[in-house]
Structures are given as C-alpha cells and as structure tokens.
Amino acid sequence: MSLNASVARQTLLAQALGWVDKQSDSLGPSIHPATSFLRDPADLHRASRTYRRDDNPTFLQAEVLLATLEGGEGCLLFSSGMAAATAVMSMLSPGAHVVVSTRLYSGLRNWLFSHGRRWGIDISEADYEDVHGLRAILEARPAQIVWIETPANPLWHVSDIRAITELAHECGALVVADNTVSTPILTRPLEHGVDVVLHSGSKYLNGHADVVAGALIVGPRRAELLQRLADIRNDYGAVLGPFEAWLLLRGMRTLELRMNAICRNAFEIACFLQEHERVVEVLYPGLASHPGHVLSRKQMQGGFGGMLSFRVKGGEEVSRRLAASTKVIRQAISFGGLETVIEIRRGMEGPESRTPPDLLRLSVGTEAVKDLIADLSQALSA
C-alpha cells in the first residue's frame, strides 16, 4: 500500500511514500542484503529480480520516492554522483560532442578532460549566461549532450534551464541537469524540459554526511532511456550497497524540513556577510546583488539553497586564517550535511581550477543561526 500521490510532498517524504514491508508489516523500510533472488522454476526467462547488480529491493523505495519528487518516469541509484554522471557519458560513442558550462563541478570537468577525452569525447565549454554564444557553438557542431548545473559550484552561477534546454533540443542534444545543489525541493528541472536529472546523493538527499551515492531520474515517458541507463549501471557495475540505499532513504524523509531550515540560515548568513566591513564579495543567489538572482526567483521555489561563497579583504592568506579560526563551523570538504562546513575551495579543485584562490565556500547546516553568525563574526575579527 502506498500513499495517494495527491498528498503533500512533506507527507510523501515523512512516510517515505507510506510503503509497508509486506513480510514484517514494518513501517520503517527494510534492508535486503541478498545478492541472488529466487527464479520462477517454470519460466526462467520471466522478468523478475535475479542478481543484486541489476536490481535490489532496497533500492526501490528510494528510487520511486526520488522519481516522484522530481516528477520523472523512473530513477536509478548509483554508487556515487560521479558514477551516475559517467553512466550518462557511457551512452556516447567516440567522436561525440558534449557541451558544458565554463562553471562546472570540478570533479566532472576533470573527468571529462582526462578520461572523457581519452575515450574520444569532444568537449566544448560555453558561458551559459550568454545563450547566443551557446547557440553559435551548437549550430557550428551538433552536440549529443548539453550539461547544466545550477546553481553551479562554487560561484553559484545560475543557468536558465528552460532557455538552454529549448535551444539544446532544437539542436538535437540530450539535456542533463545536475540538481544536487537545488534538490527537488527548490527546483524540478524536468518541468523545464530537461531529459535527465542527476544527483550526488552524498549531499542534501542523504543530508547527514554519511553516505556516498548518486542518482539519475529520467523525464516522463522516457522508459527507453531509463532502460538504457539501467543496462549501463548493470554492465559497468556502479551499484549502490543496500545499506547505503537504506541510509539515503532515511535521510530523504527529512529533506524538506532540512532544506527549509538550511535556506533560512543561509539567507541570514549571506545578509550578515554582505554587511560586514571585512567582506568584499558574497555570492549567494538569494541576494539581490547576485547576477543570477532574478532568474533564481523564477527557477527556485521556497528558498535559494544552502551554498554560498565569499571573499574577504586581505586575500588568500586572510581567508586561510579565517577558515582555520572558526570554532562552531568546521573546515571540511563536501556539502549538504547538518553541520556547517567551510573550505578554501580552490585547493580542492586541482591545478586546472578557475576558482579565485581566496574564495571561501560555506555549506550552511541546520544549527542555530545565531551560533553560526557569532562564529563567523569572531573569525572575521580575529
């Protein structure tokens, strides 16, 4: 039995679709570690579960919940966000053309320019704020994939999902949107026409910084595309463990509550930083001063997310001291957890990084915002 799809999103999330484990009647989801499943002895070719690399009952509830949140045909969990991204790239043949923004998660950029290039993928980088420039690139050479990430890590550039998707479709490309930072609570890229949504489940979906996972959600009526990606997951083997799938689902049950709290905290912190005399720049789509603010108001509902970056007077050395002198906020990589973390971003991105060396990135958590502001305040005056 499951909840009627007309209930509010928060109800679907709180009850993880309202599924009840048939064997135990448990309201909490069960974990199935089995690698192998009973076949129908009368018809071995009947479609059913066979082996955990293709399929596992523990995936199902998280996959259906995520597909419902994004409004998609279906969802596939992967062993990481990168595994999900490279599964999409695995659909390509040598000579394929992929277009990405000049503002792209560094891990994917590094993959494209090392492994992707070696596979024969041709990559174009475009300024996604200049849709005419993007059109010129796509008209000069058809692309198989146009990749959108918005807001984009770590400067939080905002791309116009609908305009870029329409243009990419006109030119025959498949559009993939990395929705890790917005989450389906704030943005639903499939509603803007995108073909595939990607998540690093290691961030907000899990929300407790204790799982590495990834997911792909395909748009409505795209069963064939879903099957192609499922075959790739099976053939390449980047499957999530059942315990991780269970943790991911457990985390998702509080996704909306966490995102609401995180968005409120992030906005207050961004306003505080913007007013501070030692801060020279704050990058947060929720601030009117952010170049993507107007677009964000259209594309993001209910808040502007929990990620922001800032720069302080005095440059890199002062930034380093600041990151080292916060006490409540810890210095660490990654984002989307309950705890607020700070990092000097460039050092994490490798030698090709285009990120300013003094840029401080904050992943805002759910702590009391007065404690976070007091901590930043003391670090700024240290």
Tokens at 252, concatenated = 């998702």
Partnered with residue 354 across adjacent β-strands are: none
Q: Is 53 part of the annotated catalytic residue set? A: yes
Query: Does residue 355 touch ligand PLP according to CB under 6 A?
Result: no
Q: Which residues of 58-70 are buried (b: 16+ CB within 10 A; e: fewer)?
A: bbbbbbbbbbbbb
Q: Which is nearer to ligand PLP, 165 or 200 (CB)?
A: 200
- Strands 341-344, 330-331: pairing is parallel
Q: How far apart are CA 122 and CA 332, in angstroms?
A: 34
Query: Does residue 81 touch ligand PLP according to CB under 6 A?
Result: yes
CA angle 214, 220, 223 (to 5 degrees): 75
| Terminal alpha carbon distance of the chain | 57
Query: Does residue 363 touch ligand PLP according to CB under 6 A?
Result: no
Q: Which is nearer to ligand PLP, 81 or 251 (CB)?
A: 81
Tokens at 26, concatenated = 């448990």
Q: Which of 137, 140, 96 is nearest to 116 (CA)?
A: 96
Measured over the CA atoms of residue 216, residue 74, residue 101 and residue 302, the dihedral's sign is negative
Per CB under 6 A, which of residues 141..200 are in contact with ligand PLP?
A: 149, 153, 178, 180-181, 200
Least gap, CB of 152 to ligand PLP (angstroms):
8
Q: How far apart are CA 117 and CA 111, in angstroms?
A: 9
Q: Which residue is nearest to ligand PLP (CB)?
A: 81
- Annotated catalytic residue: which of 203, 222, 258, 311? 203
Q: Is 313 part of the annotated catalytic residue set? A: no
Q: Which is nearer to ligand PLP, 75 or 171 (CB)?
A: 75
Query: Does residue 28 touch ligand PLP according to CB under 6 A?
Result: no
Binding residues for ligand PLP, how many (CB under 6 A)? 14
In angstroms, what CA-CA distances link 3 with 15, 67, 167, 248? Answer: 8, 15, 38, 20
Q: Which of 75, 82, 92, 138 binds ligand PLP (CB under 6 A)?
A: 82
Least gap, CB of 204 to ligand PLP (angstroms):
10
306 close to 262: Cβ distance less than 8 angstroms = yes
Q: Which is nearer to ligand PLP, 149 or 195 (CB)?
A: 149
Q: How far apart are CA 153 and CA 335, in angstroms?
A: 11
Least gap, CB of 348 to ligand PLP (angstroms):
9
Cis omega (within 30 of 0) for bond into 29: no
Least gap, CB of 241 to ligand PLP (angstroms):
14
Q: Which of 19, 105, 128, 310 binds ligand PLP (CB under 6 A)?
A: 105
Q: Which is nearer to ligand PLP, 207 or 379 (CB)?
A: 207
Q: Which of 148, 196, 197, 212 binds ligand PLP (CB under 6 A)?
A: 212
Q: Which residues are catalytic?
A: 53, 105, 178, 203
Q: Where does this chain bind ligand PLP (CB under 6 A)?
A: 80-82, 105, 107, 149, 153, 178, 180-181, 200, 202, 212, 214
